[in-house]
Amino acid sequence: MDTLTRLGFSATSMVVVAASTVTLGAGIATANSPVPISSVLRRCDFSAVQTWTQVPRTSAGRGVANIHTSGSTVVADVNMVISNSPGAHYDIGLIQMPRPSSETCGPGDPGTTFTGLDTDGAGVANVTITAPLRQGATGVWVFVASPHPNNQAPAEFYTSEYVSPV
Q: Does domain 29-165 have CATH number 2.40.50.140?
A: no
* pLDDT tens digits, one per residue of 112-127: 999 999 999 999 999 9
Answer whether 158's CB lies under 8 Å from 141's CB.
no
Helix (H, G, I), strand (E, B) or coil at 21: helix
Every domain of the chain and the residues it spans: 29-165
Give the distance, in angstroms, between the CA of residue 73 and the centroid of all CA atoms in the same chain. 19
Could you tell me the end-to-end alpha-carbon distance of the chain, in angstroms, rounded to an integer? 56
* pLDDT tens digits, one per residue of 131-156: 999 999 999 999 999 988 888 878 88
Instruction: Calculate the dihedral angle through the C-alpha atoms of 145, 116, 109, 143, rounding to the nearest 10 degrees.
Output: 30
61-70 vs 34-38, strand pairing mode = antiparallel
Q: What pTM value is reported for the model?
A: 0.77
